[in-house]
Amino acid sequence: MTVAILWSRDDTKVSRRRDRHADRTGEAELEEYNAQLAKLAERDRRAAEREAQRSR
Residue 55 in 3-state DSSP?
coil
Q: How confident is the model at residue 11 (pLDDT cuts 50, 70, 90)?
A: confident
| Helical axes 28-54 vs 2-25, angle rounded to 10° | 70
Q: How confident is the model at residue 8 (pLDDT cuts 50, 70, 90)?
A: confident
Q: Count, in order, helices (H) and strands (E) of the chain.
A: 2, 0
Evaluate if residue 34 carries a pLDDT over 80: yes
Lowest mean pLDDT among 5-9, 27-31, 44-48: 5-9
Residue of 36, 14, 35 whose CA lies nearest to 22:
14
pLDDT of residue 35: 97
Evaluate if residue 14 carries a pLDDT over 90: no
Evaluate if residue 46 carries a pLDDT over 80: yes
